[in-house]
Amino acid sequence: MKNYKSYFRPSIDAMSGYTPGEQPKVMDLLKLNTNENPYPPCPGVVDGLKNIDTERLRLYPDPSADKLRDTIAEVYGYKRENIIVSNGSDDMLTIAFRAFSDAHNKVAFLEPTYSLYPVLANLQSCQYIEIPLNDDFSIKDDLLEKAAPSNLLILTRPNAPTANCIAIDDMRKICSEFDGIVLIDEAYADFSADNCIDFVREFPNVIVSRTVSKSYSLAGLRLGFAIGSAEIIAGMMKVKDSYNVNMLTQYLAEIAIRDQEYLNETVAKIKASRTKLTEELKALGFKVVDSQSNFLFTSPPDGDAEKLFKFLREENIIVRYFPGKKTAKYIRITIGTEEQLERLINFLKKIF
Amino acid sequence: MKNYKSYFRPSIDAMSGYTPGEQPKVMDLLKLNTNENPYPPCPGVVDGLKNIDTERLRLYPDPSADKLRDTIAEVYGYKRENIIVSNGSDDMLTIAFRAFSDAHNKVAFLEPTYSLYPVLANLQSCQYIEIPLNDDFSIKDDLLEKAAPSNLLILTRPNAPTANCIAIDDMRKICSEFDGIVLIDEAYADFSADNCIDFVREFPNVIVSRTVSKSYSLAGLRLGFAIGSAEIIAGMMKVKDSYNVNMLTQYLAEIAIRDQEYLNETVAKIKASRTKLTEELKALGFKVVDSQSNFLFTSPPDGDAEKLFKFLREENIIVRYFPGKKTAKYIRITIGTEEQLERLINFLKKIF
């Protein structure tokens, strides 16, 4: 056998790849680490799975996913031509990086934010600009100035892992003044008080990205969608893999998105638990960032988040810890069910 | 509202995108245009769909798809570390282009071949080298010389749309002498007399790519997989989207791949129909390329394939036609069921 030598592009050899949150295979753990929804998907999805015409599995799915796009358009008040779907939100981000970014076109995003963005930038061999947030994770006044050399600005709203939102008026100002694409990553927007979905009508350079992974309880299905002007969507359609969303996902996501009543119920329960957990943590002396999402970003009384992360792990409670200058004093806790959060709080009461 | 100006990379604005085969929404057509399997998926898949734990849909799928990879490894005689899975074979091609190709690293492929490759090259802004085949679609002696300036050589075996195979000894010689990655696209290999799946043991620079879309009757599911050295697979894992294969696909593809008996039965039926259709077409004066696949590439007696394509369309029989110097005299016909092919032959007998 010949010896192996690397034929990878240098930037691939140099990069370490994205580390997704753990998906532990022991299922009795209390898993509060990847912002999954603790409630099951809507009943229609459960029934839908029993009624699938399996014969159709032998055929390719609709490459343009027209039926699903029509449903999304209807529910969110747009037209089919304004909608693109993807194999989860990460696929949408990949499509955007491939469409707008390269060695000559930089991307800009907040710091801290979703840790996948720099990985995608390295993969696309484009430079990235990190726009530092204040210590309380609010934006600084020079955001537009910092973002100016880029062609694609990603604003994550609510932001991850910090859980808070840029004020809607600030969002409007940024979208109006930035000369490039503003991708508003609204993966968690169903849990926030307001959102930017109407911006697409106002700004031809805005893309709003959503997912069924969190609020619709369908992380396992992989469906992301984005809303933008017809011109932007048409360009992004050229970049996506033709058959990027499989038949079962097209079929089941459509059912889930139609059931806005179930979505609202589930979201209301999570918001109520969020309020309760926030209060209990504050009572224990934790600092809690104002959360507009289905998770909390919180710093323990002694500020030693890494120690707490490890303590919780030993107790089979998995949360997420992000080393790094601004995030190292915090842990990120997904909002679970009442019972799950009770277990967490009872344990924390023993320590603090 | 501001006027729209394009923020797309110039190469995206310039490209026209890939045109997938039609997926007509009227289902009473005789659809022999996208090489789907006319037989349903294996019975285990049908049962599997009824027994899915829908609760699991709220969780992210296993990002490394270990259980599915272990099954593929077992069935194909490799180890988990030799296997990567993807959102269909097209996703695997995208991963390979992103891993190995850029402005400084060219890709080479046959001409004619799968029409997606040049689209992916444009998307990745890498130059591509087309290696012309002889008029009978066999390879020319200068293949290695032509491919030499590239870093990634894609050999499609059986080739599409021509249906024939490069001889296995020629494959071995090419893999041994080419200084770069050889990606052997074996999407149709279950229908051919031999394949290159053992090459991975012999050559550290070889990747063999497969799909469940054709032989396993699961085009709607989107699952591709590739086999390569542990080093190559580890590098490709960095490039793929973390959660690129959804939970349902991981679960159902595993069931399908375990059922090699059903696969062999279905493939045997398609091969028998292929032999019969080949003979009938030859009897009508058609030229038929020796097919090792689930489709035929065939030229009508008068050589006017475009006219025949249109005739068939009017008869609600959809096949595929590829304009272009070498392919314009041929149509590509997917092997359907006995009954479907009878309808086709009866119509052709009326014309020729």
Task: Please give, rounded to a whole number of angstroms, the shortest distance from the CA of B288 to a CA of chain A.
Answer: 26
Chain B interface includes A169 (CB < 8 A): no
Task: Please give, rounded to a whole number of angstroms, the shortest distance from the CA of B303 to a CA of chain A.
Answer: 30
Q: Which of A9, A120, A154 to mutate to test the interface with B (most CBs of B within 10 A)?
A: A9
Mean pLDDT value across chain A? 95
Q: What is the pLDDT of residue B277?
A: 98
pLDDT in tens, B327-341: 999 999 999 999 999
pLDDT in tens, B217-257: 999 999 999 999 999 999 999 999 999 999 999 999 999 99
Mean pLDDT of B48-64: 93
Q: What is the pLDDT of residue A337?
A: 96
Mean pLDDT of B311-315: 94
Q: Is the pLDDT at A68 greater than 90, yes or no?
A: yes
Q: What is the pLDDT of residue B16?
A: 82
Q: What is the pLDDT of residue A26?
A: 63
What is the distance between the alpha carbons of residues A145 and A72, in angstroms, rounded to a whole number? 35
| B331 neighbors B298 (Cβ within 8 angstroms) | yes
Nearest residue on chain B to A218, alpha-carbon basis = B58
Chain B interface includes A37 (CB < 8 A): yes
Look at phi and psi of residue B110 and say left if phi exceeds 0, alpha if psi is from -120 to 50, else beta: beta
Chain A interface includes B38 (CB < 8 A): yes
Which residues in chain B are closer than 8 Å to A102, comparing Cβ atoms?
Answer: 9, 125
Chain A interface includes B283 (CB < 8 A): no
Q: Is the pLDDT at A167 greater than 70, yes or no?
A: yes
Q: What is the pLDDT of residue A145?
A: 98
Q: What is the pLDDT of residue B241?
A: 95
Which residues in chain B are closer than 8 Å to A105, comparing Cβ atoms?
Answer: 9
Mean pLDDT of A232-259: 97
Q: What is the pLDDT of residue B4?
A: 65
Q: What is the pLDDT of residue A17?
A: 78
Chain A interface includes B43 (CB < 8 A): no
Interface touch A23/B180, C-beta < 8 Å: no
Q: What is the pLDDT of residue B236?
A: 96
| B136 neighbors B158 (Cβ within 8 angstroms) | no
Q: What is the pLDDT of residue A5?
A: 76
Mean pLDDT of A149-153: 97
Return the residue matching tokens 């272990």. B70
Tokens of B342: 């009878």
Q: Is the pLDDT at A103 greater than 80, yes or no?
A: yes
Interface predicted TM-score (ipTM) of this complex, two decimals: 0.95
pLDDT band at B18 (very low <50, low <70, confident <90, very high): confident
Chain B interface includes A246 (CB < 8 A): yes
Q: Which of B57, B174, B229 to mutate to test the interface with A (most CBs of A within 10 A)?
A: B57
Q: Is the pLDDT at A88 greater than 70, yes or no?
A: yes
Q: What is the pLDDT of residue A3?
A: 60
SS3 track for chain A: CCCCCCCCCHHHHHCCCCCCCCCCCCCCCEECCCCCCCCCCCHHHHHHHHCCCHHHHHCCCCCCCHHHHHHHHHHHCCCHHHEEEECHHHHHHHHHHHHHCECCEEEEEEECCCCHHHHHHHHCCCCEEEEECCCCCCCCCCHHHHHCCEEEEEEECCCCCCCCCCCHHHHHHHHHHCCCEEEEECCCHHHCCCCCCCHHHHCCCEEEEEECCCCCCCCCCCCEEEECCHHHHHHHHHHCCCCCCCHHHHHHHHHHHHCHHHHHHHHHHHHHHHHHHHHHHHHCCCEECCCCCCEEEEECCCCCHHHHHHHHHHCCEECEECCCCCCCCCEEEECCCHHHHHHHHHHHHHHC
The structure's pTM equals 0.95
Interface touch A231/B4, C-beta < 8 Å: yes
Q: Is the pLDDT at A2 greater than 60, yes or no?
A: no
pLDDT in tens, B110-144: 999 999 999 999 999 999 999 999 999 999 999 99
Q: Is the pLDDT at B2 greater than 70, yes or no?
A: no
Q: What is the pLDDT of residue A276?
A: 98
pLDDT in tens, A265-293: 999 999 999 999 999 999 999 999 999 99
Residue A19 vs residue B194, higher pLDDT: B194
Task: Please give, rounded to a whole number of angstroms, the shortest distance from the CA of B284 to a CA of chain A.
Answer: 30
- Whether residue B161 is preceded by a cis peptide bond, meaning omega within 30 degrees of 0, is yes
Q: What is the pLDDT of residue B14?
A: 87
Q: What is the pLDDT of residue A12?
A: 86
Interface of B with A in 84-143 (CB under 8 A): 87-88, 90-91, 94, 98-103, 105, 116, 123, 125
DSSP string, B81-114: GGEEEESSHHHHHHHHHHHH-BTTBEEEEEES--
pLDDT band at A4 (very low <50, low <70, confident <90, very high): low
pLDDT in tens, B160-183: 999 999 999 999 999 999 999 999
